[in-house]
Structure 1
Amino acid sequence: MSTNTRVNQPSRQPTPSLLARTRCRESGQAVVEFALVMIILIPIVIGTLDLGRGIYAYNVLASAAREGARYGTTLAPSDSTHPNLTAIRQRMLQTAVLDLDANQISATCSPDCYQGSSLTVTVNYTFLPATPLFWQFPLTGRSTMVIEYPRP
């Protein structure tokens, strides 16, 4: 009598394949590699965001200075050598989206404050990054335009 079953032979357990054994050993390696890459990648991303915020702040300052100079060229001056700084400051504080202080805005006329002379408006601002990775640094927006207000 012959049968196809094997009697008295130990059953063979399937052995894990070579690929499965190497995956098991490399699972910790992937976590370490991910951590090393993140140490470099996160500061780069945050620095890029702060750089974008800095460029945005500079553009806002330049635009505010241009708006203040344009507005100041059509105003009557306080006297022959001083522009109407109060009105220019109010206009700039209304248009700027940054937290500006009125003392950060200056305006000068050269040689006087009447038609044909130049009016220069300067805005100073200290940019403070959102992260402590970088230090604060000053930004300046400046614009010069020709005064249109006629002489009295």
Structure 2
Amino acid sequence: MLSLWSSNIIKHFFCVIPPLLVLSCSDIRINEIVMFAFMCCIIVSSLVTVLLFYVYIISTILQIYFAKGRRKAFSSCTFHLTSVVMFHGTLLFMYLRPTSSYSMDTDKMVSAFYTLEIPMVNPLIYSLRNMEEHVKDALRNASFPDTSV
């Protein structure tokens, strides 16, 4: 059980463990060790699982006969894998760093990044990629007037 200072207001967007530990006036070493162990297991196991699935996906993509199909599949996988790495990278930064480098302001920015921005990246990336394909097709089909006189 944590004993808190007189102020028990968490100056954070939502209740997560690191800001709560900052408010504690009791010894938090065991809490930090347990949090580190659990987060290592959770974050690393989910990242390894995703990467193993990507090995399987990539081996399946390499069996696609047509180069255009392979290129489209790799393009989709690249965007998704980028957002997965961004998400897990911020979680690793948030929960697996030493408490000596803990900063409440940095923590707020990082938590806003992984809860708000990363989930918004996927639809944006996929819509931009689809729009890029449509723009390329439109440019290929467009007939430009001859500007040389």
Give the TM bin, normalised by the shorter chain.
Answer: 0.3 to 0.5
TM-score, with length taken from structure 1: 0.34
With normalisation by structure 2, the TM-score equals 0.35
Task: Tell me which protein shows more strand as a share of its residues.
Answer: 1
